[in-house]
Amino acid sequence: MHATRFTDLLQTFDCVQHVREPTHRAGRTLDVVISRADTDVHQLSVGDFLSDHAVVKFKLSLRRPATAPQPVMHRRWRSFIAADFEADLSSSRLCTGLDNLDQLSGDELMEMYDSEMLLLLDKHCPRVAVKQKQCRLTPWFDAECRKSRRHVRVLERRYRRSRKKADKSAWRPRPSITSLQHSDMTTRLATFRVKPWCQKADKSAWLSEMKSLHALYEEKNRQYWRNETADSKGDSRKLWRTMSGIMGEKQTSSDSGGFTADEFASFFVDKVEAVRQSTSSTPLHHVSETAAHTMASWKPVTPDDVLILISNALNKSCQLDAAPTWLAKQYRGLIAPFYIAAVQ
């Protein structure tokens, strides 16, 4: 009865049980291998008994799903010409006619800044669609792996540079060493003898470090999942999550329901209003002492103050910024008067 229900349950979820031999000393099949119907399980065998249960060995043919490259918008900063951008920025509304900005609000000034900056950047550094391949995240990749990979890339670039120079000089006619003067003999020997040797040495160093890097990756990967499996002892749910990570299964992210920013804002406004209505009959709390400090006067912001603030800002930007921070810092002398008109 239980075996029939178990078989029906497997068929319901499109799963297959592959063990067909007894795995217990009593002659029953208690150790099973369950997979999806489209999973290739081969070379399955029931081995010796380590205890009252036998060892079940099998192989899986797993393939990583191909990840399609996603289009990402980037600006072509290589085609950016600073002199042309500076000339157009000097003649834009951000640098001319600043006396007419007193009638505009802070929001209107920020909209003007965003529109003018985007217009200039689209002209001098247009956006292009670049296909970016999405790589799997490796939780075991730490600072040691990053340092080793950086070192391998340095050796690779060194080898490729030396190879190009050696190939370039290989076809040139080699002069007779006996006809050379002693003063330039060292230079010629370095050109025709040392560079091919450096090429082989650089290639050997690069390949050696590459093998060490792959060995480090393998060891980090194994040690990470061993620790995760050991930490999951006694917690079956955590163990299943760990096994899913080892098998490369993706966790399905929950759907947010398609809420917009306005709907979130309306939710919190309604929540605050409901709290206020529920506490409208509560008497106000009496505060016996309050702070007596006041800000009676304000000091006007000078261009030097704005330049110092922009210079000390970190080179961090987000997608909402009309221009990157490094660009604003580079042309802070031109944009500082507009910043002052926007904040004062």
- Note the pLDDT tens digit of each residue in 288-303: 777 777 777 888 888 8
Q: What is the reported pLDDT for 14?
A: 86
Any idea which of 81-85, 100-104, 310-314 has the lowest mean pLDDT?
100-104
> Nearest 5°: CA angle at 13, between 7 and 18?
50
Q: b/e for 273-299, b at 16 or more Cβ within 10 A?
A: eeeeeeeeeeeeeeeeeeeeeeeeeee
Distance of CA 30 to the CA centre of its chain: 45
Computed from CA positions of residues 246, 249, 253, 254, in that sequence, does the dihedral angle turn out positive or negative?
A: negative
Q: Cα–Cα distance between 54 and 22 in angstroms, integer?
A: 9
Instruction: Map residue 53 onto helix, strand or coil.
Output: strand
What mean pLDDT do residues 318-341 have? 87
φ, ψ dihedrals at 48, nearest 5°: -75, 165
Q: Where are the beta strands (DSSP E) in the chain?
A: 15-17, 34-36, 40-49, 54-61, 70-75, 127-132
Each residue's pLDDT tens digit, 119-136? 999 999 998 888 877 666
* Local confidence band at 305 (pLDDT 50, 70, 90 cut-offs): confident
Structure tokens at 247: 């098998």
**pLDDT: is 94 or 202 the higher one?**
94
Q: What is the reported pLDDT for 170?
A: 39
Q: Cα–Cα distance between 92 and 39 in angstroms, integer?
A: 63
Q: What is the reported pLDDT for 318?
A: 82
Statement: residue 252 has pLDDT above 70? no
Statement: residue 229 has pLDDT above 70? yes
Q: What is the reported pLDDT for 313?
A: 86
Any idea which of 213-227, 234-248, 321-335 has the lowest mean pLDDT?
234-248
* Strand-pair partners of 16: 35
- Parse the chain into domains and list their residue ranges: 2-61, 70-133+299-343, 143-173+182-247
Each residue's pLDDT tens digit, 155-187? 888 888 776 444 334 334 344 333 333 344 344
Each residue's pLDDT tens digit, 172-228? 434 433 333 334 434 443 443 434 445 677 788 888 888 999 999 899 988 988 888
Q: Cα–Cα distance between 152 and 163 in angstroms, integer?
A: 16
Mean pLDDT of the chain: 79
Q: What is the reported pLDDT for 232?
A: 83
